[in-house]
Amino acid sequence: MSKGRRRGAVLGGAALAVVLVTAAAGWACIAGPTLNLSPTVVKPGQAVSVSGFSYNGSLPIVVRLNAFDGPVLGTFQPDGGRFGDPEALSGTVTIPPGTKPGNYVLIATQPNPDGSLAQVPVRALLTVSPDGSTPVVGASVLQPELGRPVGPTIEKSSVGTGSLLLVGLGSAGVAMFLAGLAVLVPGRRRGQPEAAPVATRSR
């Protein structure tokens, strides 16, 4: 490789590195806020710690339950963050005592004075169980209804034995017809006479 090509490759690599570093820094600056919960499985009426960072330091943080217009669980002012600016969330909210067991989301928003959103809303999953314990994997967190049997219910079928027998006979008849047709068609092809050779006159 000539010196000119080497120099061009080095300059190109350096320019690419500058672009990547600049893009990474820009991505770090525009990264959205975060929302963390502790604990993530609670019972109705229990307190939950909320935390996060990358919020707008000049606007309050509103934490709602399960919807953008859901019940307001708490309003917080951002405090000191990673770089000394007020951009962190730290506080405690209480799940309403009447909340039914199930899976919910806590939503953190920062509305402007005119009601528009200044930040992208962030969500965190929260499970409410009857006693605050973690449910078994695959098990429902909802309490079973009284008087309702637990587990799958087997219902009696209204289809009689005679109907099942007729369906079986019909299926067997169709299968026999198709089998006979498969045997008959090749037999007809083999039984066709071969065409006689055409005689040619000799001159």
Nearest-angstrom CA–CA distance, 71 and 95: 10
Non-local CB neighbours of 148 within 8 Å, separated by 6+ positions:
none
101 assigned to some structural domain: yes
pTM, whole model, 2 decimals? Answer: 0.54
Q: Do 62 and 51 meet the contact criterion of CB atoms below 8 Å apart?
A: no
Nearest-angstrom CA–CA distance, 132 and 39: 10
Residue with tokens 């600056």: 29
**What pLDDT, on a 0 to 100 scale, did the predictor assign at position 142?**
55
135 assigned to some structural domain: no
Nearest to 62 by CA among 26, 91, 104, 27: 91
Find the CATH number of the domain harbouring 57. Answer: 2.60.40.1930
134 assigned to some structural domain: no
- φ, ψ for residue 94, nearest 5 deg: -120, 130
149 assigned to some structural domain: no
Enter the tokens of residue 121. 């809303």
Nearest-angstrom CA–CA distance, 66 and 137: 23
Domain ranges, residue 36: 31-128
Q: How many separate domains does the chain show? A: 1
**What pLDDT, on a 0 to 100 scale, did the predictor assign at position 179?**
65
123 assigned to some structural domain: yes
104 assigned to some structural domain: yes
- pLDDT tens digits along 66-105: 999 999 999 999 997 666 778 999 999 999 999 999 999 9
- φ, ψ for residue 73, nearest 5 deg: -90, -25
- pLDDT tens digits along 166-196: 556 666 666 676 666 665 555 555 555 555 5
89 assigned to some structural domain: yes
87 assigned to some structural domain: yes
